[in-house]
Amino acid sequence: MAEHVRLHYTTSPAILGDLPERFPSVEFVRLPRDAELAAGVPIEPAPILVTVGLGSPGLVRAIQSTTSWIHSMSTGINAFPFDALGEQVLTCSRGTSAEPIREWVLGTMLHVAKRFDDTFVTETVEYESEDAARRAWYADPQLGMLQGSTVAILGFGSIGRGVAELAHAFGMRVVATRRTPAPDPIATVVADAVEAVADADHVVVAAPLTPATVHLVDAELLAAMKPGAHLINVARGELVDQEALRVALDSGRVARASLDVVTPEPLPAGHWLYDHPRVKLSRHISWSGLGWDRQRELLATNIERFLAGHELLGIVDPAERY
């Protein structure tokens, strides 16, 4: 076991919480701000770097000064400067946000099925008679059900599986994509995304962003979707061809798009996604609900494993970029 280890970090100290007190053998050193690093402020070499994983000139220098292990507090790793990575092990906080994200996804599906947009009463309506008012009040709004409907999940990692578990509990049929399909107790797993979405009422994008998954949801996939389907993106904006989505929304092929992620972020003023009548847009918040607790505990576990010389959790494959 290492007796004394230097750890550099570029995050806010609040994110680390009580880790410095829990690991007295580790010297936690906050690096200068990115602009100072980029300007060439000297950096003493250290075996560990903790960052949020966003590419920048300063982060590149921090990576180059790290000898053994780099950890990203983020779940997504697509913005990490892989070209700067050498022989260091890279880990990320994979899986730590699955629970709040799966609840957000379920909420969007309920929102659509139960027509929350247009079934809540917000004003008094005048009717010609009390009988007419009563008939209108008790009229069947033809709400949908999640039970018996189908959800396609593009990407069957921790988030995708979390969505599948909740969907299964609601009596939904689950179809999911994975590069190497295998039997699963709650989902039909296939390799082909077009096959997965063909009968889906809801399509959830939960795949990692890699060079191979850019525009995973393109014009071809959108055309293969069931007319009137609901598209949900909680992964990365670049996985969806937004112009192809616009065509599908305008035609009604996609009846609703619930987007927690878009490209670019933030969207510029006047962007069409802000006011399209079939779009519900949020600002990359589906992960919210647990603070940094899960990410911090994963980091703590990995520090323990590093000090003991054990294999780390959440290792990223630089070739696959996730």
Cα separations (Å) of 60 from 25, 33, 55, 81?
A: 26, 13, 7, 7
Pull the structure tokens for residue 181.
């399909």
Q: Left, alpha or beta for 91 (phi > 0: left; psi -120 to 50: alpha)?
A: beta
Report d(CA 158, CA 51) in Å as an integer.
Answer: 22
Is residue 173 within a helix (H) or strand (E), and if so which, with residue range? strand 173-177
Q: Would you name the residues annotated as active-site residues?
A: 236, 265, 284
Within a 10 A sphere around the Cβ of 225, how many other Cβ atoms?
Answer: 23
Helix or strand run (H / E) with residue 254: strand 254-259
Do 147 and 123 touch, CB atoms closer than 8 A?
no
Q: What is the C-alpha separation between 60 and 83, in angstroms, rounded? A: 9
